[in-house]
Amino acid sequence: MTLPEGVERHGFDGETSLATRGEPVYGERTDGEWRRWDPHRSKLGAMLENGMETGLDGGETVLYLGAAAGTTVSHVADFCGPTYAVEFAPRPVRELLDAAETRGNLFPLLKDARKPERYAHVVEPVDVVVQDVATRGQARVAALNERFLDDDGRLLAAVKARSEDVTADPDDVFDAVREELSAEYELLETTRLEPYHEDHLGVVARPRRD
């Protein structure tokens, strides 16, 4: 797997890890201008560590769904172009705004990813949708936001089994999500995100366009 431009491996206290160049956000270790991208705190970081072919090259325009306090989306903004960060909860958005202060390409949006019509007037067509929303109906969220993707764009999603059904077998949940996603997307790769995140599935897909 080739890392995107702007993502490198650096040594942090004797441990080699992914890193991006930017101001620290969540207390991560640093090596000069480089900040450790902790895969235990980032589903996208875990996808990269597990060798998934995300299609990221660096410089892409990104719509990030479920930005929370900015842990992962700040890394994305470090090596990508315009990055629209959608988060529903007001409290983490305050921290997200702090992360955006030193990143002129990071645009926080206090919006609900399940209602993309409320930010469609702000978000331009994007190369990548990154999705990390811990809510029931994760495949539905991906389908609703497919409208923003260019024809050759990519969906990079982290599916949390227990957000769909805390009592169900994760494998059954993932099978159902794959089937639902397939209505709108061509699935290119799906991989469990262990050992970094239990009962999570990483998904790389592209939109079906007739």
What backbone torsions phi and psi does residue 48 show, to the nearest 5 degrees? Answer: -70, -45
89, 69 contact by CB (below 8 A)? no
- Tell me how many degrees the CA angle 7-52-190 measures, rounded to the nearest 5: 145
Q: State yes or no: 87 annotated in a binding site.
A: yes
Q: State yes or no: 83 annotated in a binding site.
A: no
Q: State yes or no: 112 annotated in a binding site.
A: yes
Joined together, the tokens standing for residue 141 give 């969220």
58, 48 contact by CB (below 8 A)? no
Q: State yes or no: 107 annotated in a binding site.
A: no
Distance of alpha carbon 79 from alpha carbon 51, whole angstroms = 18
Q: State yes or no: 16 annotated in a binding site.
A: no
DSSP letter string over 38-84?
Answer: -TTS-HHHHHHHTT------SS--EEEE--TTSHHHHHHHHHSSSEE
Peptide bond preceding 90: is omega within 30 degrees of 0, i.e. cis? no
Binding residues for S-adenosyl-L-methionine: 71-72, 87-88, 112-113, 132-135
Binding residues: 71-72, 87-88, 112-113, 132-135
